[in-house]
Structure 1
Amino acid sequence: MMNHMENGGNISSEDVQTLKRNETRSDQKIGGILRHFRKKNGVTQMELAAVAGITPQQIQKYEKGSDRIAVSRLMTLLDFLDINYEEFIKEMRNCN
């Protein structure tokens, strides 16, 4: 994909679609890793949801990647799961 500054600041609709696909893949990857750590720690979706003040259905959406999780909320959940940010990022890099 061409850097949008290289073509005068314009971005093509094809580039926008590629970016959106990449975002969706990232959301799915982040959710999958969150699920991995939740299960590894023996925590239910209900327990994790209670920590964040949200519904278990919202946790399910995050884990499926159908909803994007805010970084601040992710950090709250990782703190509860006793997972540091670096460990999460390392897992992201290892997950293809």
Structure 2
Amino acid sequence: MANLRKLNHNKILNEKYPDIEANFYSMGFIFGKIILKHRIRKRLTQVQLAVQSGFTPKTIYRVEKGNNNIRMDTYATLFKLLDVDLNEIIEALNEKKAEMEYHQPNADLQR
């Protein structure tokens, strides 16, 4: 995926897929990375987390892959179960927002 992010700055790719940047930085992607990190820190498998949370292993897989069709209450349950601090979530969202703003082409330079 990192290679695709580098390609994103290619003008042709941006013209053909104008929303590609948003796909890399969706909340689902950010939340999924946080959940994956905390699951691994707690030494849980996806199946173990599924059993503890009441979700299916497929749901845990989809969450960790950044699927955008996940309900907020699912994230909330997993964050609580994994003891994810709200400040970590806010910090991750702010970092990605700053990163997106940094990589946005300046409209004045494109004229």
Contact 1:32 / 1:63 at 8 angstroms: preserved in 2? yes
Aligned to 1:44: 45
User: CA deviation digits over 1:45-87, x for unaligned, max 9?
Assistant: 1122123322112111111123532221111111111112222
Equivalent position SS for 2:55: coil
Aligned to 2:103: none
- Uncovered stretches (5+) of structure 1, i.e. residues with no partner: 1-13
Runs (4+) off by over 6 Å: none
Aligned to 1:5: none
Aligned to 1:10: none
Aligned to 1:25: 25
Contact 2:36 / 2:64 at 8 angstroms: preserved in 1? yes
Equivalent residue letter for 2:43? G
Query: Percent identical across equivalent pairs?
Result: 29
Equivalent residue letter for 2:67? S
- Number of residue pairs the alignment of both structures matches: 80
TM-score by length of 2: 0.56
Structure 1 position 68 matched with structure 2 position 69: yes
Greater CA deviation, 63-72 or 29-38? 63-72
Indicate how the Cα distance of structure 1 residues 67 and 49 shifts in structure 2: closer, same or farther if over 3 A, else same: farther
* Separation of aligned partners in 2, 1:53 and 1:29: 22
| Cα RMSD (Å) | 2.5
TM-score by length of 1: 0.63
Equivalent residue letter for 1:86? N
Indicate how the Cα distance of structure 1 residues 47 and 92 shifts in structure 2: closer, same or farther if over 3 A, else same: farther
* Separation of aligned partners in 1, 2:25 and 2:36: 15
Equivalent position SS for 1:57: helix
Q: Would you tell me which structure has more helix in proportion to its own residues?
A: 2
